[in-house]
Amino acid sequence: MKQSITLNKITKFVGFGFLGTLKSIFTGNIEKEDFKNFLRKVIVPLASMLLFIGLWHMGAKTLFNIEAEYKIEKALTEQGQEAANAMEACIASGAIKCQPNTLPSPSQVWASFQTLLEDHLVIRADKAAFIEKTASLNAKRLSDGKNAITYTGRPSFVDQIFTSIKTVFAGFFLALLIAVPIGVVIGLSKTLRSSVNWLIQILKPVSPVVWLLLVFMIVKTLTKNSESDSAFIISFISVGLCSMWATLVNTAMGVSTVDKDYINVAKVLKLGTFQKIFKVILPSALPLIFTGLRITLSVSWMVLIAIELLAQSPGLGSFVWEEFQNGAIDSNSKIIVAMFIIGGIGFLLDRIMLTVQNMISFDKNDGI
């Protein structure tokens, strides 16, 4: 029975259940309830996506027409009918210099996404060529005790995505290392919880901007003569300090609400302090701790974009700000691309945490 349940989970995970449903639909052997589930889980989401794209396209077209009419009217008012006719002809021709700069359509966003990927391939090829050209020189420099010559070209969009992911995980692990031990200590002592609760409640809602400025002051002082990447250090420490509070509070709550019977059993077995924490308290508090960690990871990703934007450190936040400042005709499209990438990565991070939580949580069906 247990093997059957596990096999069903694996089958659903790899998608065979979905393929089986499709086969049943085409052969006419599908049951009514399965067909309803197929409609709800596949057809309805696809229909909603198409509806969203359709509304987006119509909205972009409407805003384009409004902006175009405004530009033509402005040319008519300031320069006369001939200038207005020229502006109308220019907009109709599709010339970049006179196109309304407003909400891009889905096709424009897709074209910008392809442009960003092509740009990444070009930058990657340039970097590979640079490494190949400087390989022998760098080998000689290293043998002489000198630093190697590094590639200093601009990062591509894909490079900035990986930089943001690296930063958010560094901040997340920092938050975990700070929040879980402190949460355990606070949760074990009612007096300690009462004494530091005011501090937690004050620091928890502090804006990422404030944390960034505070961390900036400290890190800049400590790394004044260092060759380390201070921008990365500032970013991930700010992310960790902004996002750790959910884990800290949930850990303290989970530890403080452990069933007293478990604590009594630990006393009867004469377990040491660390044994009691790792064998009794933490396993019991794990569901709440993971709930806090999921919130922490989500908050980490959200505040990271703002911190990168403010700190001008490499990453998606910096990319969005640079495109906004650039003001090119395709800048809005690239910002929309970044928006979807940011949302998609945030969703995947949450799913990863949920999967890990389900893997280590007690499943009541495991004993069947």
Q: C-alpha distances in angstroms, 59 versus 49, 50, 63, 68, 105?
A: 15, 14, 6, 14, 8
CA atoms of 245 and 204, how far apart (whole Å):
6
Q: What are phi and psi of 329, to 5 degrees?
A: -65, -25
The encoded tokens of residue 194 equal 């009462």
Report yes or no: 190 and 303 within 8 Å, Cβ to Cβ.
no
**pLDDT score of 216:** 87
**pLDDT score of 228:** 64
**pLDDT score of 29:** 58
Q: C-alpha distances in angstroms, 366 versus 4, 17, 288, 290, 361?
A: 11, 21, 21, 20, 11
Domain ranges of the chain: 2-98, 155-367
Its sign, for the CA torsion 326, 328, 330, 333, is positive
**pLDDT score of 110:** 93
**pLDDT score of 71:** 85
**pLDDT score of 27:** 55
Contacts of 318 (CB under 8 A, 6+ apart): 160, 308, 309, 312
**pLDDT score of 109:** 92
Mean pLDDT by 10 residues, the chain (368 residues): 44 47 55 71 87 92 88 85 84 79 89 92 88 80 75 85 92 93 89 87 88 87 72 88 92 86 77 79 86 90 86 84 82 91 92 83 44
User: Is CATH 1.10.3720.10 the right assignment for the domain spanning 155-367?
Assistant: yes
| Count of CB atoms situated within 10 Å of the CB of 314 | 21
- Tokens 């006419």 belong to 28
For 342, which DSSP code?
H
Report yes or no: 222 and 248 within 8 Å, Cβ to Cβ.
no
